[in-house]
Each structure stands twice: as C-alpha cells, then as structure tokens.
Structure 1
C-alpha cells in the first residue's frame, strides 16, 4: 500500500537537495557554454591542428558514456595526484561532456550566417575577431537558442548521475530515504515531480529568451 505521507517529514531535505541539483546544473551549463564556444571556434578555424584537436575531442566525448567520463574524473584523477571534490568532479564531467555537443550546436549556428555579411565586414576593414564578436556570434547564438535549451534540459536530468560519486543532490537523497523507509515508489515519484518542476522552469525561461530575441530581431 502506498503511503505518500511518509514524504512530508523529508520534504525540507529533498528541497535542499534540489537546490544542489540546480547549482550543479547551472554551473555545468555555464562551463559547457564557454568550453563549447572555444571548441567550435577551433573546429571552424583555418588552423588544421586546432581543427583536428576539436574533432578528436568531440569524437571521444560523444563516443563514450558520460558515466565513464565522470568516473575517470572522480576516481581516475586521484591516481595522478589530482584530488577533486565530488561536486567539482561532477561539474567538470557534466560541463565538458556538454561542451562537445554545444560546440556542434554553435558550429551549426555559425555556419548558418550568410557569407555575404562576413565579406561585407571584411571589405570595410574589420578584423576576424571583430567580425566574430559583433556580427557572427550574436546571430549564431540567437539561431542556436532552441538547441541550447534542449541541451540545458538534458544536462539538468543527467545531473542525477552525480549521485554515483556521492554528491548529495536530489537523486541521491531520494534514494537514501527510499531505502531507509522502504518507500521506493513514493520517494522516486516525489523526485520525478521535482525534476519535472525544474525542467519546466528551465523550458519556460529559455522560451522567454527565445521569444525576446526573436522580437528584437524583427
């Protein structure tokens, strides 16, 4: 028999864990956005070694499970003398994993900008950095917003993997209380609802950003 009243005593702890999940997701998203931009610029550069490095990175990250990458950061780095906290390890693994996908999103956005705009800017004497900063990247970012939003939501859900390296986020706390009270359905449903709330908020904010950018473009 299901007994959801058991959850009431643990709601404050689950909400606290939800905040940890949110912090983990936001920091990882920021890292992924920044790293993904650098990787995208490397990939579209005319410098072959940089392009090869970007291609290799994307190939490795997209071709291996994120859980393996997380374990390599958390359990592997201490073998070479690099000790990181569970939270920092999770941020690095999540952010650098997302960077590979975000780089491809950025690249698609950059390649969608008409070459005529770049040629016109060059004819006016603008340098490459100025063209990218003032003309290409703002438009590419606007075009990439829907795909970046989907990636952000995926990262939020993937943050549950951090529970496997002892980060006290929503999934780990829910699992702990579920095991203690033998109420797996109740606590996992509660966790699912909290994740649903977070993803709904993320989607709402991203839709607002996309709408504002589309209006400003008009």
Structure 2
C-alpha cells in the first residue's frame, strides 16, 4: 500500500499540489468570517452588557440561538434553505456569512467578559478626566480588554480555521473539499486525510505565534505589578 505503513508518502507528495489548491480558500473563508464576527461581536457585547433591556435581551437571544445550533445546520439553512424564499448566496458567500454570524456570538461573549474584567475605576477615572463614553471606551477600556480577550479570541479563530472544513459540504473548494477529491481519485482516503491534517497543524501553529506577538504588544496597556 505505501512506503510508511498506513501513510503512502509517494501518493501524498503527488497529491499535495491538488490539496494545497484549497489552502487560499480556507484562509479567505477563515479570515473574512473572523472579520465579520469581530465587527458584529463588539456591538453585541456592548448591548449584552448594557443596562437597557431592549438592547440587552435581543443580544442575549441572538447569542443563545447561535451558540445553541450546530454551524453545519446553519450553513444548510443559508445555502439550501433560503433559496426557498428566493434568497440565494454562492457557496463562498454562504460560508463566510454562516461562519461569521455564528462566530460573532462566541466573540461577543469573550468581549463581554473582557470588558467586565476591566476595573470600574477605569471608567470613573476616564469620566473624571472629561472623556465621554466613546472616548473612554476606545482610549482606555478597549486596549486593556483587548489584552485579556486575545487568547480566547485566538482560540475562536483556530476553531474557525478547522471548522472551515465544513464548507466542503456546500461545495466550497477549500482544503478538505480538495482532500475529498484526492481521496476519491487515489482510493487512499487515509493517506489524504492524514496529509490534510498535517497541513492544518502548521497553519494553526502560525496563528498561535501571531497570538503571542499580539499579547506582547498589548501588554503595554496592562499595569505590571
């Protein structure tokens, strides 16, 4: 079967270019989805943390729904279900919309927790200096909260990169979809699946390295004791 037990090195090398064709799409889907989640997640966190129940409860409902439904089901609703009411998206659009809206719920909870961890005295000090809510939030609170939020946000992004493989079921030509093609062509799915796992691994290591750099950058906003 192969050169190294259950893993055929020769077959893996031959099919590596085909599988790597899906890498740019995996990166696009992951980064754009994370960007959408970040844009939606912060307002959601602020609404979730707000005293006004008309802001707080819709945010809580959205977060509860997104965290309580499988992302695969949500992708099917967007790509296969919405055309029934004449709302259609391409596979790529459905993927980034599905992952983005879903990740926003988790990002919102991380942001809410990070904002809550900043001492209330920071708000009071900012208002004493004459800053309004927006300036206090952007200039004082968010930089401190960002340092706290970076590790869990990176975990969400890592999960998003790996979850992007689900986009294969709606025909997005990303890493896993290319792997399925290679597996069907070679009849050696085990080798192909191990190969794609070895591609995801260093990709996630690179993301973890960026996380460390961001943590060091934002450390300057945290009071060192």
Report TM bin, short chain. over 0.9
Gaps of 5+ in 2: 3-7
CA-CA distance at 1:80 after TM superposition? 1.8
CA-CA distance at 1:157 after TM superposition? 0.5
Q: Specify the alignment match of 1:36 in structure 2.
A: 41
Structure 1-normalised TM-score?
A: 0.95
Q: Specify the alignment match of 2:154 in structure 1.
A: 149
For the residue of structure 1 that corresponds to 2:21, the secondary structure is: helix
Determine if the alignment matches structure 1 residue 178 to structure 2 residue 183. Answer: yes
The 5 Å alignment of 1:82-121 reads: 82-121=87-126
Task: Select between 15-24 and 1-10 the one with higher mean Cα deviation.
Answer: 1-10
Greater percentage in helix = 1
For the residue of structure 2 that corresponds to 1:34, the secondary structure is: helix
Gaps of 5+ in 1: none
Task: Select between 122-131 and 148-157 the one with higher mean Cα deviation.
Answer: 122-131
CA distance in 1, matches of 2:221, 2:145: 15
CA-CA distance at 1:6 after TM superposition? 1.9
CA distance in 2, matches of 1:76, 1:6: 38
CA-CA distance at 1:208 after TM superposition? 1.5
CA-CA distance at 1:154 after TM superposition? 0.6
Q: Specify the alignment match of 1:81 in structure 2.
A: 86
Residue from 124, 130, 138 that aligns with 2:129: 124
Q: Deviations over 1:102-157 (max 9, x none)?
A: 10000011001111111122223321111111111111111111111111101110
CA distance in 1, matches of 2:129, 2:221: 25
Q: Deviations over 1:43-102 (max 9, x none)?
A: 112221111110000110111111111111111221222211101110011111111011
CA distance in 2, matches of 1:131, 1:54: 23
CA distance in 2, matches of 1:121, 1:4: 61
Q: Specify the alignment match of 1:6 in structure 2.
A: 11
Q: Deviations over 1:136-184 (max 9, x none)?
A: 1111111111111111101110000000000010001101110121011
Structure 2-normalised TM-score?
A: 0.92
CA distance in 2, matches of 1:162, 1:170: 10
Runs of 4+ in 1 over 3 A off after TM superposition: 215-218
CA distance in 1, matches of 2:121, 2:139: 15
